[in-house]
Structure 1
C-alpha cells in the first residue's frame, strides 16, 4: 500500500499554469490547463494562468514565477523548446526536460 504525504501549497510559491499556446492543439490545451489551474487553486496553491501564445515566456521571470506547470500540447509545448527557455530562465517546470 502506498501512502500520500500532503504538500505544503504555500511552499510552491507562485505557480504559472502554461496553456493555450500556438499549436493546432490550443483548444485541448486550454481545457487541460483550466482544469489544472482550478485544481491547484482549490488546493491552496498560488497559481495563475499564463498563455505563451499571447505573452512572452520572459514575462514569467519578470513577474517572479517560482515554477510552472506545463499544460501545453503539440509543437512548442512538447518538443523541448519551451523547456529549454525555462531552463535558461532558471524556472523549474513539470514534465520531461529538453529532448
Structure 2
C-alpha cells in the first residue's frame, strides 16, 4: 500500500510532528508499505495529487492537523486517511464546547 505520511506543518508542534512522522515512516516501511513522506506546507495539495497515495497517515499535531481542516482536504481529494473524520476532529480540537 502506498502510504503518505503527513508531518511537520506550521503549528507550534512542528518538531514533535516531524518526530512522530519519522516513527510512522519507519513502522510502515518495516511492514512493507511504500512510504511517501510529505511535509504539510503550501505545496501539500499538489504533492498529494502528484503522489496519489492509497491512504494518508496524519502525523500532524495542533491546528491544521487535528482540527478537521486536513481531514476535509483529504476527503475533498478522495484520499482515505487515518483518525477521526472532519466533524469529530473539529469538535475534539475545540475543548471549550
- 1:28 counterpart = 2:16: yes
The CA distance in 1 between the partners of 2:55 and 2:49, in whole Å, is 10
Range moving further from structure 2, 65-74 or 51-60: 51-60
Classify the secondary structure of the residue corresponding to 2:35.
strand
Change (3 A) 1:86 1:49: same
How do 1:1-99 residues align onto structure 2 when only pairs under 5 Å count?
Answer: 13-53=1-41, 55-99=43-87
Is the contact made by 2:55 and 2:81 (CA closer than 8 Å) also made in structure 1? yes
Is the contact made by 1:21 and 1:54 (CA closer than 8 Å) also made in structure 2? no
Give structure 1 stretches of 5+ with no counterpart: 1-12
Structure ranking higher in strand proportion: 2
The TM-score, its normalising length taken from structure 2, stands at: 0.84
RMSD of Structure 2 on Structure 1 (CA)? 1.2
Give the superposition deviation at 1:54.
5.4
The TM-score, its normalising length taken from structure 1, stands at: 0.82
The CA distance in 2 between the partners of 1:51 and 1:33, in whole Å, is 9
Structure with max Cα Rg: 1
The CA distance in 1 between the partners of 2:42 and 2:77, in whole Å, is 18
